[in-house]
Structure 1
């Protein structure tokens, strides 16, 4: 079978890796990426233990390369104005610079015999393959050309935001909410594998306009943000993305949904198929899980489902329909939770104006998707006591070490 991936992001590259592995090297895979090698947007992405478990289960060698290239963050703080920082217990994760993630995946793909054609933007008509995977991002050209068939909807959030880097080497994930003369502004700042943290800046539209950010240059906006968050940044500079911020540095989140992800021998994956608000930090993980779901549908799951008959169109078609139905059903609730997360931030200013107890506000932030229990709330309060916080951190570390040991035995 010949597979063409339009888009060399995490979904396309990981699909290529897994297809070569699961087919025993029989299936030919070509990845077409519009950017040149080593050129990408954004700074870092985060993921958790479940993703690492999946990576080791599907490809132990590739999973180990991913882990080595990533950085552990093992603490999370929420800061509100001049209040004492609130500690969030039981939280840790991994972060990796997006360029490093793509390098890990591309190296593994090429090692397995995948052809990657950089500087190669493509349309559907350009691709002669038995299976075409449109993994070309939120603005997917291939999906857009067939938007009516896919039933694509794109809903835009209200809050302006901008992605920046920070010259920071901390192991702590920080949410910082600060007042300005025009309203509240906030950042979430998390580490990366290359010493440059990711800093996402967000505020409500009225604040954005009143501060003059709607007509400031990118450099002016960066200096303003540095002044607002000077305590958390502690003199460290913010960094513009590769290529600069351009004329319109501020974005609004676009939630992409599709009624179907399949059009004959073409399927969508990653941001071309669905997007989730950056506040839950799962876009990259979901994209790679799409690839896992697609190869499971095509090649079967040992002891669970049989491989499809990939030598005939009907066999491939049944596998693609199964992928479409299963992954859309899995993604729907996650997108619903992500939308609740986005709406929480769109109304955060009202909560912030009334904050008297930063611990309670931090709980509202932590439970913004509405999936926490009373026990979690009690633990959240207890975590503010230093001795109890240390106990909880020790238990979290023990859990992490145990999972790492299990992965080592399984691989």
Structure 2
């Protein structure tokens, strides 16, 4: 099979790796519009389950990812001037620099015979007309998807809150939250390590707080300076690092949740963020993209013709990601409703934060939900953990 993968992100690269491992005779080219070594973002997160899956699919790249990752097993939360709460998470988390992840996957793909062409933009599938299969792995703003948005049934829901994705030289020992009250409302941040010298920091606030603090008019330097003051306790003297923009402004965004009714059109198939996005607060985007890639490879080698194989991929993955999509919606809603929860005692706030994916939480008073959750845990422990 001749395959053209448009976009050099994790989904396309991992798909090309697994396709070549399954059948080295596949002719696969990955087209990336940016130069080699350039990427956006700081670190990505994943959990034990994904690493286990990666080991089963391609042990070589899994080992490199494992060795390059930073681990944590607890949360730390700075609650304005009230308290700093640390809790054991009960699950090991991993952080990995996006640049390092792409480097690992690119090197592995090249070693298997995949061609990777940088600074090559594919604007239409007709530009790779000789391919048997075209992978649209070109991200949330997928140009290939947008050309056929009506066919795919693309819908985009824009989140209310503003957020900015930053880095810092403060290396957190735990997955760290900070909530700060300002005269314009609450602003919060969470950070996690992704290398020996850097961590990711994601800052979020309501539109009113964002506007009231002047972020809409501030240049990047002033924006970072104010954020460093607001989160001084969390940063412990370390600076925040922004991503420079052409206009010199800070890169604030509203999160865009993308869904598609169908994921393929002829021999064109959507993968990763081109097919679906989940709110950054659950840290699942990269894992879902890699799982998409593995599932599609399995479907293509299941003995079916191309169209039924793509239909099976679409059905299977749409079902598989529903739980993550639901968790992401409730997580985003929790942050958009922060004033409802922020007055809780510190231990209760952190406990409810950990349960923000619950469908019940928005409909029950937070203090009552906390008591019910504790009672459920106590009752489950008496029954041997079945709760």
TM-score (norm 1): 0.85
TM superposition shift of 1:76: 1.2
Closer/same/farther in 2, CA of residues 17 and 376 from structure 1, 3 Å limit:
farther
Q: Where in structure 2 are the equivalents of 1:342-381 lying within 5 Å?
A: 342-352=332-342, 354-355=343-344, 357-370=345-358, 377-378=373-374
**How far apart are the structure 2 equivalents of 1:243 and 1:66?**
30
**How far apart are the structure 2 equivalents of 1:375 and 1:38?**
50
Moved more, 367-376 or 72-81: 367-376
Does the aligned pair in 2 maintain the 1:265–1:317 contact within 8 Å? yes
Does the aligned pair in 2 maintain the 1:363–1:380 contact within 8 Å? no
Closer/same/farther in 2, CA of residues 276 and 234 from structure 1, 3 Å limit:
same
Does the aligned pair in 2 maintain the 1:279–1:342 contact within 8 Å? yes
Closer/same/farther in 2, CA of residues 363 and 104 from structure 1, 3 Å limit:
same
**How far apart are the structure 2 equivalents of 1:69 and 1:229?**
28
Does the aligned pair in 1 maintain the 2:33–2:120 contact within 8 Å? yes
**For residue 214 of structure 2, what is the aligned residue in structure 1?**
212
**For residue 16 of structure 2, what is the aligned residue in structure 1?**
16
**For residue 280 of structure 2, what is the aligned residue in structure 1?**
278
Which of 283, 308, 315 is the aligned partner of 1:318?
A: 308
**For residue 80 of structure 1, what is the aligned residue in structure 2?**
79
**For residue 133 of structure 2, what is the aligned residue in structure 1?**
131
* CA RMSD of superposed structures (Å): 2.1
Which of 220, 223, 232 is the aligned partner of 1:221?
A: 223
Closer/same/farther in 2, CA of residues 59 and 114 from structure 1, 3 Å limit:
same
**For residue 396 of structure 1, what is the aligned residue in structure 2?**
none
SS at match of 1:13: helix
Q: Give structure 1 stretches of 5+ with no counterpart.
A: 300-306, 310-314, 383-411
**For residue 179 of structure 1, what is the aligned residue in structure 2?**
181
**How far apart are the structure 2 equivalents of 1:38 and 1:126?**
24
Which of 282, 303, 308 is the aligned partner of 1:308?
A: 303
TM superposition shift of 1:75: 2.0
Residue 128 of structure 2 corresponds to residue 117 of structure 1: no
**How far apart are the structure 1 equivalents of 2:97 and 2:61?**
16
**How far apart are the structure 2 equivalents of 1:151 and 1:252?**
21
- Deviations, residues 17-72 of structure 1 (Å, cap 9, x unaligned): 0000011x011110001111110000000101111001100011111111111111
Does the aligned pair in 2 maintain the 1:222–1:238 contact within 8 Å? yes
Does the aligned pair in 2 maintain the 1:71–1:191 contact within 8 Å? yes
TM superposition shift of 1:242: 5.7
Does the aligned pair in 2 maintain the 1:18–1:295 contact within 8 Å? yes
TM superposition shift of 1:110: 0.3
Does the aligned pair in 1 maintain the 2:159–2:254 contact within 8 Å? yes
**How far apart are the structure 2 equivalents of 1:9 and 1:115?**
14
**How far apart are the structure 1 equivalents of 2:313 and 2:30?**
20
**For residue 59 of structure 2, what is the aligned residue in structure 1?**
60
**For residue 42 of structure 1, what is the aligned residue in structure 2?**
41
**How far apart are the structure 2 equivalents of 1:375 and 1:56?**
40
SS at match of 1:213: coil
**How far apart are the structure 1 equivalents of 2:371 and 2:346?**
19
- Deviations, residues 102-151 of structure 1 (Å, cap 9, x unaligned): 00000000000000000111021211310111000000000001000000
**For residue 397 of structure 1, what is the aligned residue in structure 2?**
none
How many residues are treated as equivalent by the alignment? 367
**How far apart are the structure 1 equivalents of 2:196 and 2:2?**
36
Does the aligned pair in 1 maintain the 2:38–2:99 contact within 8 Å? yes
**How far apart are the structure 1 equivalents of 2:239 and 2:372?**
36
**For residue 365 of structure 2, what is the aligned residue in structure 1?**
none
TM superposition shift of 1:243: 5.6
**How far apart are the structure 2 equivalents of 1:245 and 1:280?**
30
TM superposition shift of 1:181: 1.4
**How far apart are the structure 1 equivalents of 2:372 and 2:78?**
20
Closer/same/farther in 2, CA of residues 266 and 246 from structure 1, 3 Å limit:
farther
**How far apart are the structure 1 equivalents of 2:120 and 2:375?**
51
Closer/same/farther in 2, CA of residues 95 and 131 from structure 1, 3 Å limit:
same
**For residue 294 of structure 2, what is the aligned residue in structure 1?**
292
Moved more, 234-243 or 250-259: 234-243
SS at match of 1:221: helix
**For residue 327 of structure 2, what is the aligned residue in structure 1?**
337
